[in-house]
Amino acid sequence: MEEVFNAVQLCGSAVAANPQDRWVVVIGNRIIVITDDGRVFAHEITGNSIGTPFQLSGPAVAANTQDRWVVVMGIRIIVITDNGRVFAHEIQAIALELPFSYPVLRLQQIPRIDGLWKFRIAF
């Protein structure tokens, strides 16, 4: 049987504590913070310790007004716009690659009776 254990506070640097910090995702053992102007910072997690943030080089991520969702898939930061377009930024070591688009992929929101949202990928 799977279970959730008690929370343990991690020590070290504060994460996403600045007013410009907009998105937080996790890739591997890093907490990734994306600012409202698209800069990307990473905190390495070692055991229960949070490392000092360092900036990743590369293009701005999720800095456009139409950018609505940010999620992670493997080593990619996925940005989904308000009209359902999907862009992926691949992480290479500590640098970001230019985004590429999935132009025929659409993410449709489907309201559910219980008030939650379901998503469907349309081609």
The domains located in the chain, with CATH, are: 11-122 (2.40.128)
Question: What's residue 11's pLDDT?
Answer: 96
- Give the pTM: 0.74
What are the residue ranges of helices labelled H in 47-107? none
Phi-psi region of 48 (alpha: psi -120 to 50; beta: other; left: phi over 0): alpha
- Please give the C-alpha separations between residue 45 and each of 57, 91, 105, in angstroms, as whole numbers: 20, 17, 33
Question: What's residue 123's pLDDT?
Answer: 44
Phi, psi of 28 (to 5 degrees): 60, -125
Profile the chain (123 residues) by mean pLDDT over runs of 10 residues: 91 97 93 96 94 93 95 92 92 59 52 56 48
